[in-house]
Structure 1
Amino acid sequence: MKRYIVILFTALSFFGCKDFLEPENVQELTESSFWQNEDDARKALVAAYGSLQSHTGSKWTFFEQLYISVTWKADDILNAPTDYGKSIADFTNGTDDGAIASFWKANYTGLSYANQIIEKVPGIEIMSDEDKATFVAEAKFLRALYNFNLLVAFENIPLITETPKSPEDFYVSQAEPAAVWTQIEEDLVAAKAALPQTREGDDIGRATSWTAASYLGKVYLFQEKFDVAANELTNVVDNGPYDLLPSYADNFNGAGENGVESVFEIQWSANRANGNDERHPFNFEVTPGALGGWELYYPSDWLLSEMMTDQTSTAELSDRVYSSVFFDDANSEMLDVYSGIPVAYSDVKDALAHTKYFKKYTGEFDKDYYNGINIHLMRFADVLLMQAEALNEQSASNTDAAIAIVNRVRNRSNAADIPAGSMTQAELRQQIRHHERPVELSMEYTIRWFDLYRWAKGSAAPEKISEVMAAHNKPFAENYVDGKHDIFPIPLEEINKNDNLTQNDGF
């Protein structure tokens, strides 16, 4: 889906009392000249999707700010010894951090576009009622996703479901988190009911009813509504269109884009026709300098130690280990950024500045070296692991059934089965939390940090993040203050502009 720039039409309401003698500038896009047909609605919808990349339209904003903000805090990532992202990674950030502000802006920008679609599309005359309902449902899905990101990242946020109609409407107060969760659920239920089950042609990658159902299960899980979470996720697993790709690596090299394992992805492209540029620099970010990269962050020591226990029945390392990290092993190799040729670890070992590197999203790239591989927000392996977790938390009698689901994910990568009856409910809980999910989903956008948040905030075996960080030898774990660092501060620029916002505790 190509990106379009859409005006924030809410501002137009402040200039509506134009003198009737003043001729209308037909070259200027206005609220009255837009929202005329399905093409206008589609442009607005693409803009709403576009905020998943960033609010600025820049690949650099996505990586250097959005991605860093909600991944580098976690225990699976170690940032390079530079000032790049340092304050987030070592828990010393203040209220004026640009990455945190960008995460706020990107999500609220996308949410604003979604609200406009929900309000304006029903009034378009040259559009079928069925198409109107689908566009509105899609916007509700996106609004739910943006609200979810904001709620988990900041916890105390304004709940905005309408476009502002007056200057006073911009000065919103924060809502109770419970009210935001309710709105997220309502939007996902509506999206699930009205979205199509499949997409074809140019629409592949847009949300479907199964996408909404998968996120609804996730939202229930985050609230520890284990019964309904288990039911929703089981329905997706049993009746949805998803499956695991035969090759784990194909999730990250472009071969499996929008394929059978994809629940929802941020769409990127190496196509640069007509001045378009939707590539991203992940291959440079993670690749060692010896192979032409910038090596801005690495797998943590704890993550690699967990991966070293992820073995086949013959005590070899699993496929997901070799596909996720580049490390000191005879079978480990990684692409050179400029030649695209795989290089064995042993061939560059002496030239490496670090001992281990991520290799996800370092596959095919265009002639200008940045790549256009889509970035996952949710894939079917995640759905399976959430289903297993929900069933295990629902009842200890479900533990063996949950083990079988975990084994389905493990088997795809040739990791050995966990024997039935070999784990208690508590043991499987720890296996899912601190082995299966981080090993399967390492460095994937919003996954690990959001997991740590929900386990800290929940009542089912809560875990203080400071203790997890210390146990997993996260650098600067001693700086972590439970409660304070579990969420981000409200960006200082937002506090300065809106007296009705209250800063989160500790900042």
Structure 2
Amino acid sequence: MKKMASLLVVFMILNSCNDLDLLPLDRVTTATFYQTRSDFDGAIFAAYSSIQDFWGTSTETLSERGEFWKITMTITDDVAADANAGADQISRDIDNLFIRASDIPFAAIYTQIYEGILRTNLVLENLESENQLTAAEKTAFEGEAKFLRAFFHFQALKMFGTPPLAIEVKKDLNDLALPNATQDALFTQILDDFAVAASNLPESWDGGNTGRATSWAARSFIGKVNVWREDWPAAVAAFEEVVNMGPYALEPTYEDVFAFDNENNAESIFEVQYGGPFSDDNLWVFDDTHSENFKASQGTGRGWYWDASNGAPGGKLGWWPPTQDLVDAYEPGDERFGISIYQNGDMYYTTFTSLPYDPTWSSTGFTIKKYRGERNIDPANHAPNQQADFNNERWFRFAELKLLYAEALLESNNAGDATIQINDIRARAGLPDLAGTATMADLQQEKRIELAFEPHRWFDIVRWGIGPQVFGAAWDNRFEVFPFPQSEIDRSNGLLEQNTGY
């Protein structure tokens, strides 16, 4: 499953190598393609691929440059946009909360979300057609497609508030636009889809399918969605089942969680799978809408954008360094700091060399180390040209689930059990237990540190209503949702309504 990013066309090509009776590729249609287990595997892997494109870099579509990092990481109080390192203007604007409906990140991510939804709906539609699948295979594919459809709609809801609900394949070119959906309708559909996934999917896959969504992952997301819905009893019930009966456990050390040699570990609930150095590994064609997607293996530009610049070895960009505010938020003795952040006195590692870290390489004096460091300089983790990495993105992990569980318990007036969950996380970080029973402030602090540089901080700031506390006078309540891309508003002829203030 490591190469689940392979596009639909790639699976069609591979299949043709084994069956001389297949139609030429220029004559393959949905009616002729969706027949075998391999066909449906290829189609569902294409939907997973849309998640990888969140961080894509492309010169052919919207000139994307790691857009998802900008709207989940650079925008927060954890990361700055380094103008000295040449961070692009949109990074610098977003860092200062200058947000416009015409900005590339919103169009890029909106496109990838609804591309992923379309791909899941194509699978669901074609499951109903005549094909060679067994009943059991149809059940599993329905669960997997609905898991991913729920996943994409959930991301859209968190970002845009009232995005369209797309549950069918629209085929009339004169009737493609969809209106805003209500949050109630979105939550209902998302939870219904995750419930089908929880019922239909296996609890685990064999080694050849590692990384595919499981029943336990669906149950975990049910809990998470209910946190956003503020249905605390439902969230507690879902998390309680996963914590007490599920297959997950905290990794022994924080470094273990993000190590390239420890992908899909015991803590992984849902992990974005990347490929490996099997082609030209051109960072600029990772976006699978690029015309050269057929020759590029999927990877991430994480190191290209994150690693130090300003004279640091490796020639990387260093656009988004950690802030002093985040550094100051760590408690003395927190082992997560040394795994997450480079500072003066550290040994800095690249695939080229290792040498003492120089704080002048960054405008803040710090560089992101999470997913990096000595343990991750394995040549297999890097493309030959050093642009791309292949270490999976740990999207949803057990530590986050325990903290979400703690939050739901606190909101249910059960601070005692919430404290146990938080202290488990602190113990792995080498920190003592909380001095007393947990508070929401304790939970918010612990989650910020535990999930630093993962795509969650902004949505927590919004959900907790702490924007004015974090950003002061720069905060505006319109930031509770992002703007819909202006291009989508225009295409819909006003059917899709823009969020207030944009």
Q: Quickly name the TM-score band, shorter chain normalised.
A: 0.7 to 0.9
Q: Give 3-state SS (helix, strand or coil) of 2:66's partner.
A: helix
**Runs ≥4 residues deviating over 6 A:** 59-62
Unpaired stretches in structure 1, ≥5 consecutive residues: 8-23, 312-316, 457-462, 471-477
Residues 468-506 of structure 1, C-alpha deviations (whole Å, 9 max, x = no match): 222xxxxxxx44311x12211111111111121111111
Quote the Cα distance in structure 2 between the aligned partners of 1:181 and 1:168: 28
Q: Give 3-state SS (helix, strand or coil) of 2:112's partner.
A: helix
Taking a change above 3 Å as real, the CA distance of residues 495 and 288 of structure 1, as seen in their structure-2 partners, is: same
1:495 corresponds to? 489
Shift in Å, 1:386? 0.7
1:361 corresponds to? 371
Aligned-residue Cα RMSD (Å) equals 2.2
Alignment of 1:170 onto 2:165: no
| Residue number among 181, 189, 198 corresponding to 1:183 in the alignment | 189
1:185-200 residue pairs with structure 2 within 5 A?
A: 185-200=191-206
Quote the Cα distance in structure 2 between the aligned partners of 1:187 and 1:261: 24
Quote the Cα distance in structure 1 between the aligned partners of 2:260 and 2:191: 32
Taking a change above 3 Å as real, the CA distance of residues 25 and 334 of structure 1, as seen in their structure-2 partners, is: closer
Quote the Cα distance in structure 2 between the aligned partners of 1:85 and 1:487: 18
Residue type of the alignment partner of 1:296: W
Contact between 1:49 and 1:142, CA under 8 Å: does it hold in 2?
A: yes
Quote the Cα distance in structure 2 between the aligned partners of 1:288 and 1:151: 34
Contact between 1:264 and 1:379, CA under 8 Å: does it hold in 2?
A: yes
| Residue number among 447, 452, 456 corresponding to 1:442 in the alignment | 452
Residue type of the alignment partner of 1:302: D
Moved more, 28-37 or 352-361: 352-361
TM-score (norm 2): 0.85
Shift in Å, 1:253? 2.6
2:308 corresponds to? 288
Shift in Å, 1:291? 3.8
Shift in Å, 1:165? 3.5
1:411 corresponds to? 427
Quote the Cα distance in structure 1 between the aligned partners of 2:308 and 2:418: 38
Greater length-normalized contact order (CA 8 Å, ≥ 6 residues apart): 2
Quote the Cα distance in structure 1 between the aligned partners of 2:139 and 2:94: 41
Quote the Cα distance in structure 2 between the aligned partners of 1:93 and 1:495: 16
1:16 corresponds to? none
Alignment of 1:305 onto 2:292: no
Shift in Å, 1:180? 0.5
Residues 14-70 of structure 1, C-alpha deviations (whole Å, 9 max, x = no match): xxxxxxxxxx98742212211111111111101010000117975787752122223
Quote the Cα distance in structure 1 between the aligned partners of 2:78 and 2:396: 18
2:72 corresponds to? 70
TM-score (norm 1): 0.85
Quote the Cα distance in structure 2 between the aligned partners of 1:351 and 1:168: 53
Contact between 1:76 and 1:443, CA under 8 Å: does it hold in 2?
A: yes
2:335 corresponds to? 319
Unpaired stretches in structure 2, ≥5 consecutive residues: 10-22, 281-294
2:33 corresponds to? 34
Contact between 1:291 and 1:335, CA under 8 Å: does it hold in 2?
A: no
1:389 corresponds to? 407
Contact between 1:326 and 1:358, CA under 8 Å: does it hold in 2?
A: yes
1:344-359 residue pairs with structure 2 within 5 A?
A: 344-345=356-357, 348-349=358-359, 353-359=363-369
1:14 corresponds to? none
Quote the Cα distance in structure 2 between the aligned partners of 1:392 and 1:56: 34
Taking a change above 3 Å as real, the CA distance of residues 39 and 56 of structure 1, as seen in their structure-2 partners, is: farther
Contact between 1:50 and 1:57, CA under 8 Å: does it hold in 2?
A: no
Residue type of the alignment partner of 1:368: N
1:102 corresponds to? 108
Quote the Cα distance in structure 2 between the aligned partners of 1:37 and 1:494: 35
Quote the Cα distance in structure 2 between the aligned partners of 1:73 and 1:56: 15
Contact between 1:152 and 1:450, CA under 8 Å: does it hold in 2?
A: yes
Q: Percent identity, aligned pairs only?
A: 28
Quote the Cα distance in structure 1 between the aligned partners of 2:25 and 2:308: 53
Alignment of 1:376 onto 2:394: yes
Quote the Cα distance in structure 2 between the aligned partners of 1:281 and 1:55: 11
Shift in Å, 1:187? 0.4
Q: Give 3-state SS (helix, strand or coil) of 1:255's partner.
A: helix
Residues 449-474 of structure 1, C-alpha deviations (whole Å, 9 max, x = no match): 11122223xxxxxx3x133222xxxx
Alignment of 1:230 onto 2:236: yes
Q: Give 3-state SS (helix, strand or coil) of 2:73's partner.
A: coil
Q: How many correspondences in the alignment?
A: 454
Residues 259-308 of structure 1, C-alpha deviations (whole Å, 9 max, x = no match): 1011111111233248442222212322222243321111122211111x
| Residue number among 331, 348, 359 corresponding to 1:334 in the alignment | 348
Contact between 1:253 and 1:360, CA under 8 Å: does it hold in 2?
A: no
Taking a change above 3 Å as real, the CA distance of residues 68 and 337 of structure 1, as seen in their structure-2 partners, is: farther
Residue type of the alignment partner of 1:491: P
Quote the Cα distance in structure 2 between the aligned partners of 1:84 and 1:336: 27
2:93 corresponds to? 87
Shift in Å, 1:122? 3.3
Moved more, 163-172 or 106-115: 163-172
Quote the Cα distance in structure 2 between the aligned partners of 1:468 and 1:51: 32
Residue type of the alignment partner of 2:424: R
Q: Give 3-state SS (helix, strand or coil) of 1:387's partner.
A: helix
